[in-house]
Amino acid sequence: MKIGIIKERKTPPDRRVVFSPQKLSLLKKQFPNCELFVESSNIRIFPDEEYEKLGFQISEDLSNCDILLGVKEVPIDSLIPHKKYFFFSHTIKKQPYNRSLLQAVLEKNIELYDHEVIVDENNSRLIGFGRYAGIVGAYNGFRALGLRDKLFNLPKVESLPDYEAVVENLQQIKIPSIKIALSGSGKVAYGAKEILDHLHIKKVNIHDYLTKSFEEPVYAMIDVLDYNKRKDGKQLDKHDFYNFPEAYESDFMRFAKVTDYFIAGHFYGDSAPYFFTKEDVKKKEFKINLIADVSCDIDGPIASTLRPSTIADPFYGYDPQTESEVEFDAENAITVMAVDNLPCELPKDASEGFGDMFLKHVIPAFFNDDENGILNRARMTFKGELTSRYSYLKDFVNEK
Ligand SMILES: NC(=O)c1ccc[n+]([C@@H]2O[C@H](COP(=O)([O-])OP(=O)(O)OC[C@H]3O[C@@H](n4cnc5c(N)ncnc54)[C@H](O)[C@@H]3O)[C@@H](O)[C@H]2O)c1
């Protein structure tokens, strides 16, 4: 089996890779029958020489490979027909901007496996960059706090070599006694939690968070049944919420009344209640003045997230009265951090982590006849057709 690590070709350039040189060595050790090739790239965080030093062949042409591994969408002209590709195609939600990509994949008889749908039998995602998004997102929020309130000056993550340096910088600052709410229960939320824990911020239970005052910063983790309640008052489990989100209404205001900094790390499903609306933010009791919206759903559940922001310019302000964007440090504004490609700020660690997950969950499936069904669930196209799991995309690809 010949596996190729492709060069990322999207603009702006993405420096991440599925396998770092170290992780590729680990793959070779565990699966010596794999022949591995690396496409030359001058933007990848790991230079070609680091792969070469470990004995990997750098190539300008991967057409000899059976399986090609990338991170972001591959430009149509660069897709090699009849290959198996793994990358984030951003097509499973019928994203119109990638319709022609999926059409080209089918025309070129490519077997597409999307990283986003590498899931276990319960449909839980097995690999992704969420942890790093949570880490960078929570950090960026603190960076905004330091700049806005002139408390401290944290450097940008992208200017630091790795996660270790991020942690070192956190050890130099002191957080005032604010209350922080962190939503979610997945990779993003637990990544954000790492930052709170590195800062030695105390985790408190929801009852204490809502009712007590503290002389130190504290945080609470809140999940779907904490910030939503059933309209009929029944108390059921979170699967009821996932299945019938329209039976629920937001119960977030009880958190908004006491929270200073909100880190949004949840997954937001279709038809779920909004956390808060533009009207809610106008209310006197709405206390939140800083939001790191890692979930980053635009014009949706977090009313102040008007647009995604960029790594270059990560913060903006939201004026509740005019419902519009202002300077991030304007008076009475909510400071918003809504960067939608956060893991790109930490390309080295994000790549190392991704390789670990890919090696653990996907590579064995090539050799054990896919005994756990991983490949079967992630395969979107086969022999020029959508597979049955993705047949709901038929209308989408047939549109011109
Ligand atoms: N800003 C960025 O750069 C960035 C990067 C990565 C992920 N994200 C976003 O962050 C969000 C969370 O990602 P993650 O990696 O933590 O996901 P995840 O798959 O690790 O976790 C999602 C969690 O939500 C729960 N869940 C499942 N279905 C749900 C539903 N219908 N409603 C509510 N919760 C549900 C799951 O049980 C799981 O605990 C996603 O919206 C993702 O797009 C943003």
How does DSSP assign 252-273, residue by residue? THHHHTT-SEEEE-----TTPP
Res. 126: pLDDT tops 90: yes
One-letter amino acid identity for 386? L
Superfamily of structural domain 2-127+347-398: NAD(P)-binding Rossmann-like Domain (3.40.50.720)
Instruction: Tell me the average pLDDT across 212-220.
Output: 98
CB 18 within 8 A of CB 351: yes
Across 344-370, average pLDDT: 97
Which among 231, 228, 204 is positioned nearest to 215, based on CA atoms? 204
Ligand 1 centre and the CA of 89: distance in Å?
Answer: 17
109 lines ligand 1 (CB under 6 A): no
Atom 10, ligand 1: which residue's CA is nearest? Answer: 295
- Does 251 score more than 80 pLDDT? yes
In the reported structure, the alpha carbon of residue 85 is separated from the centroid of ligand 1 by a whole-number distance in angstroms of: 24
CA 385 / ligand 1 centre spacing (Å): 29
pLDDT tens per residue across span 302-348: 999 999 999 999 999 999 999 999 999 999 999 999 999 999 999 99
Rounded average pLDDT over 102-117: 98
Backbone angles phi, psi at 5, to 5 degrees: -95, 115
Average pLDDT of 244-263? 98
Ligand 1 atom closest to 344 (CA) = 3
Give the closest residue (by CA) to ligand 1 atom 28: 242
**239 catalytically annotated:** no
Instruction: Verify whether ligand 1 is closer than 6 Å to residue 148 (CB atom).
Output: no
Mean of the per-residue pLDDT values for the chain?
A: 97
Using a pLDDT cut of 70, give the percent of the chain over it. Answer: 100
**Is residue 400 pLDDT above 80, yes or no?**
no
Please tell me the total number of residues recorded for the chain in this structure.
Answer: 400
Instruction: List 125's β-bridge partners, or say none.
Output: 119
Question: Known binding site for NAD(+): residues?
Answer: 226, 294
Q: Residue 132 has which token pair?
A: 């790093």
Chain-centroid distance of CA 45 in Å reads 19
Q: Find out whether the beta carbon of 240 lies less than 6 Å from any atom of ligand 1.
A: no
Domain ranges of the chain: 2-127+347-398, 130-345
pLDDT at 11: 85
Give 209: exposed, middle or buried? Use CB within 10 Å, 0-12, 13-18, 19+.
buried
**CB-based contact 188:133 (threshold 8 Å):** yes
Give the mutation target among 114, 188, 238, 293 for probing the ligand 1 site: most ligand atoms within 8 A of CB. Answer: 188
Helix, strand or coil, per DSSP, at residue 36: strand
pLDDT on residue 270:
86
Q: What is the mean pLDDT of residues 385-398?
A: 98
> Are 75 and 9 in contact, with CB atoms under 8 Å apart?
yes
Q: Is 2-127+347-398's fold the same as 130-345's? A: yes
Contact 27, 363 (CB under 8 A): yes
Distance from the alpha carbon of residue 224 to the mean position of ligand 1, in angstroms: 12
Q: Which amino acid residue places its CA nearest to atom 23 of ligand 1?
A: 186
CATH number belonging to the domain at 130-345, selected among 3.20.20.70, 3.40.50.720, 3.40.50.620, 3.90.105.10: 3.40.50.720
Q: Does residue 82 carry a catalytic annotation?
A: no
Q: Are 73 and 102 in contact (CB under 8 A)?
A: no
Q: State how far the alpha carbon of 237 is from the alpha carbons of 122, 131, 183, in Å.
A: 16, 25, 17
What pLDDT score does 259 carry?
A: 99
**Nearest CA among 370, 400, 371, 395 for reference residue 111:** 370
**What DSSP designation does 377 have?**
H
The pLDDT tens digits of the residues spanning 5-35 come to 999 999 888 999 999 999 999 999 999 999 9
Across the range 199-224, mean pLDDT stands at 98
Q: What distances in angstroms separate CA 313 from CA 156, 183, 261, 300, 336, one per listed residue?
A: 11, 24, 20, 22, 11
